[in-house]
Structure 1
Amino acid sequence: MAIVMVDGVRKTEPITSVQQVTGFGYWQLSNATLNLDDASVGSNRTLDILVENWGRRYNLKGLYDGPVLLNGEVLQDWEILALQFKKKWIQSLSDWQEVSESSGPTLYRASLEV
Structure 2
Amino acid sequence: YWRRHLFVLVLFDERLEDILAVLREESRRKGRDLTFEQLFISAPGSELAKELVKAIVNRNIANGSNVDGVAEALRRRCGSFCSADDVVIFKAQEQVKRASEAGGQSETGRVLLNESQRLFQKVAGA
TM over 0.5: no
Instruction: Specify the structure having the higher radius of gyration (Cα).
Output: 1
Higher RCO structure, 1 or 2 (CA under 8 Å, sep 6+): 1
- TM-score calculated relative to the size of structure 2: 0.27
- Relative to its length, the structure with more strand (as a share) is 1
